[in-house]
Amino acid sequence: MQRFLLKTTVLGNDEIILQDEEIIYQLVKVLRAKNTDQVIFFDGENFFDYVYEIKSIDKKNIIFSFISKQEKKEEFVWLNLYQSLPNKIDKIEDIIQKWTEIWYSHFCFFRSERSQDIYISENKILRFEKIIREAVEQSGRNRVPEITFLDVLDITKIKWQNIFFHTDEMGAEKLSDIAFDFSSQINIFVGPEGWFSSKENDIFLQNNFLKAYLGNNILRTQTTGMVVWFYILQTNKK
């Protein structure tokens, strides 16, 4: 069944009238939905999926009948990505799409010393938010990650467990040696192409950030977060 994010407080009612033009277009024009077809709605706030059946369709609204409510597992850890701006917009799109699917909770893109000077317009941000929403719908998640962009990142105000990744092994720990604090939020800092400068490296260490090293292979900036997440996932299952 197709899943849709529907930010409303009426989910669970016996009957709802859908007037969201974008969802109606996708159901009617793209999916060719018809009466008795079933869809899943979720509100992005609670860990429940709501199954509805189409009762009637017209050009302006669709009426649904409630079928069932399914409880979902809450996400076991809040993992935030602090990502230096990469050199291309499409890399941002890859990161937020793929990393939303694997449960990152918040994306913060910031300008570091080696970030490229790319312009992020309001329309681009709207597109990024749409990509995140569609990735949440597709992957079966219920929490919708937030996305922010900062010109200046004040790391002194960032709380919880902070881990930054670097290609320089000196002073770094292996992931297997890091004790992840699953009772709080975990912040992952990933550099741009060229990674963090030596000055940034020192600033992170001076503020008690953990420095992590992923081995001799130099990963692409859009790959690092996936490697880290799957390691954390397996660590928490032990």
Phi, then psi, of 68 in degrees rounded to 5: -160, 165
Q: What is the mean pLDDT of residues 185-202?
A: 86
CATH classification of the domain holding 115: 3.40.1280.10
Alpha-helical segments (H) within the chain: 21-25, 89-101, 122-139, 198-206, 224-237
Provide the pLDDT for residue 5. 96
Res 106: pLDDT = 93
Yes or no: say if 190 and 83 are a contact pair by the CB < 8 Å rule: yes
Last residue of a domain, one of 14, 45, 71: 71
Give residue 160's region: left, alpha or beta (phi > 0; psi -120 to 50): left
Long-range (24+ apart) CB contacts under 8 A made by 123-132 are 124/89, 125/149, 127/93, 128/92, 128/93, 128/96, 131/93, 131/96, 131/97, 131/100, 132/96, 132/97, 132/100, 132/107
pLDDT tops 50 at residue 234: yes
Cα 185–chain centre separation: 14
Please check whether residues 58 and 92 belong to one and the same domain: no
25 shares a domain with 121: no
Please say which residue of 71, 98, 131 terminates a domain. Answer: 71
- Number of domains composing the chain: 2
Whether 186 has a pLDDT exceeding 70, the answer reads: yes
Of 49, 71, 93, the residue that ends a domain is: 71
Instruction: Give residue-wise pLDDT tens across range 39-74.
Output: 999 999 889 999 999 999 987 899 999 999 999 887
Average pLDDT over residues 130-138: 95
What mean pLDDT do residues 171-180 have?
80
Question: What is the rounded CA–CA span in Å between residue 72 and residue 57?
Answer: 29
State pLDDT tens for residues 81-119: 999 988 889 999 999 998 898 878 899 999 888 787 888
Q: Is 188 helix (H, G, I), strand (E, B) or coil?
A: strand
Statement to judge: residues 83 and 201 lie in one domain: yes
pLDDT, residue 218, reads 66
Query: Residue 238's pLDDT is what?
Result: 45
Q: Which domain holds residue 155?
A: 79-237
pTM (2 d.p.): 0.84
Query: Three-state SS for 236?
Result: helix
Q: Looking at residue 157, what is its pLDDT?
A: 86
